[in-house]
């Protein structure tokens, strides 16, 4: 099998925690050929979706971990699978890449996650489709609505709809200090829509990442626990990652969403759950494979490649 990863530059990978790296290593163990390319390598040329793609030779050394063969311009349908693993920001360039990948699908390429499904599932807004599992939530650019929400709930979280890694998340407490300034900053003076949620005190026990793979639930979550007075548990914001078994509520949420999201073309999903509340549905490039594997001995990458093999066969 030949698997091509659409991803960020390999030179930026942190091999001790990168989930795409874990996928590549697992694929390599099974004798599959691994390739990589970036969004800037994609093109539509003479009606065909092609990319300047390089074969990745894995060295087995976690520091000096790869060699790249010279780039070749190849059609995406020449591969058994294309894995979309590009991190946000989910900007117009990201959307353009989903259009090209969708064209490639029409030409016979097998793309995971499905480009239309990535485009249709904003990682913040998608929780509204499963509101039985969410804390009180407001989505708006209107300052008066946000102020009314704060008056009702007193302690709130405000965040942009296109961030990742905890960027741009603010907590405003009962006194409302800096509320006006935060609204102006996040909405860019009323021109950008944001999400506002009631603060969930259970964040002190961690923002749990629950992985759904091929419509099934990984049996452990990674609780990302805020450190040093932070309100954010994201690992990118300095959170401490602790792998743990799923609670009954975690399982209820995950088992409800897993088959539905898989049916929509999402092979890999990362749910974020705080306490008993679903807060995000991550579909662009969910991570936390390695932390769960290292702490619990459960090989998440193997489960993922197993599911990929099934999905390729079913496609």
Pick from 224, 175, 173, 179: nearest CA to 202: 224
> Does the pLDDT at position 315 exceed 80?
no
209 is catalytic: yes
**pLDDT (0 to 100) of residue 163:** 79
Q: Looking at residue 220, what is its pLDDT?
A: 98
| pLDDT, average across residues 9-36 | 97
| Options 250, 272, 277, 291, the catalytic residue | 272
Q: Is 282 a catalytic residue?
A: yes
- At residue 88, the pLDDT reads 85
Cβ contacts of residue 292 below 8 Å, gap of 6+? 211, 218, 220, 221, 222, 243, 298, 300
Identify each DSSP E strand in 77-213 by its residue range: 81-85, 111-112, 137-140, 156-160, 170-172, 194-198, 207-213
Residue 108 has pLDDT above 90, yes or no: yes
**Residue 172: cis peptide before it, omega within 30 degrees of 0:** no
Catalytic status, residue 224: yes
What is the model's pLDDT at position 239? 87
Strand partners, 274: 207, 277
CB distance 288 to 87 below 8 Å: no
299 has catalytic annotation:
no
Residue 34's H or E segment, with its range, is: strand 33-37
Between CA 217 and CA 236 the distance in angstroms is 24
pLDDT for residue 111? 98
98-118 average pLDDT score: 98
User: What confidence tier does 167 reach under pLDDT thresholds 50, 70, 90?
Assistant: confident
**Confidence tier at 314 by pLDDT (50, 70, 90):** confident
Which candidate in 114, 224, 234, 277 is catalytic?
224
What gap in Å lies between CA 38 and CA 56, rounded to an integer? 13
For all residues of the chain together, what is the average pLDDT? 96
Rounded to whole angstroms, the Cα distance separating 16 from 108 reads: 34
Residue 240 predicted with pLDDT over 80: yes
Q: Exactly one of 18, 85, 232, 291 is catalytic; name it.
A: 232
3-state secondary structure of 46: coil
**Mean pLDDT score, 158-187:** 93
Per-residue pLDDT, 178: 96
CA distances from 66 to 23, 32, 59, 255 (A): 14, 15, 5, 37
Q: Per this entry, what is the length of the chain? A: 315
Give the pLDDT band (50/70/90) at residue 164.
confident
Q: Is residue 277 annotated as a catalytic residue, yes or no? A: no
Q: Report yes or no: 212 and 259 within 8 Å, Cβ to Cβ.
A: no
Q: Is the pLDDT of residue 125 over 90?
A: yes
Residue of higher predicted confidence among 230 and 120: 120
pTM for this entry: 0.95
**pLDDT for 246:** 98
- Write down the pLDDT at residue 236: 79
């Amino acid at each position: 099998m030949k698997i091509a990863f659409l991803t960020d530059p390999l030179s930026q990978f942190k091999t001790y925690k990168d989930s795409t790296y874990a996928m590549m290593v697992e694929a390599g163990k099974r004798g599959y050929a691994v390739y990589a390319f970036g969004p800037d390598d994609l093109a539509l040329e003479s009606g065909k979706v092609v990319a300047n793609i390089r074969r990745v030779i894995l060295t087995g050394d976690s520091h000096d971990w790869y060699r790249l063969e010279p780039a070749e311009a190849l059609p995406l349908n020449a591969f058994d699978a294309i894995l979309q693993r590009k991190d946000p920001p989910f900007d117009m360039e990201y959307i353009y890449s989903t259009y090209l990948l969708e064209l490639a699908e029409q030409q016979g390429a097998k793309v995971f996650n499905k480009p239309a499904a990535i485009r249709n599932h904003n990682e913040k807004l998608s929780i509204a489709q499963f509101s039985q599992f969410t804390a009180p939530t407001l989505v708006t650019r209107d300052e008066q609505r946000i102020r009314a929400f704060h008056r009702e709930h007193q302690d709130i979280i405000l965040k942009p709809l296109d961030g990742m890694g905890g960027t741009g998340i603010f907590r405003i407490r009962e006194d409302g200090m800096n509320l006006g300034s935060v609204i102006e900053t996040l909405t860019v003076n009323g021109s950008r829509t944001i999400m506002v949620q009631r603060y969930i005190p259970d964040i002190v026990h961690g923002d749990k990442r629950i992985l759904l793979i091929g419509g099934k639930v990984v049996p452990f979550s990674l609780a990302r626990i805020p450190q040093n007075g932070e309100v954010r548990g994201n690992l990118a914001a300095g959170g401490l990652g602790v792998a743990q078994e799923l609670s009954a509520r975690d399982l209820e949420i995950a088992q409800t969403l897993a088959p539905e999201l898989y049916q929509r073309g999402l092979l890999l999903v990362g749910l974020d759950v705080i306490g008993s509340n679903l807060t995000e549905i991550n579909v662009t490039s969910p991570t936390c494979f390695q932390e769960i594997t290292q702490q619990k001995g459960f090989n998440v990458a193997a489960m993922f490649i197993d599911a990929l093999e099934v999905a390729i066969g079913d496609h």
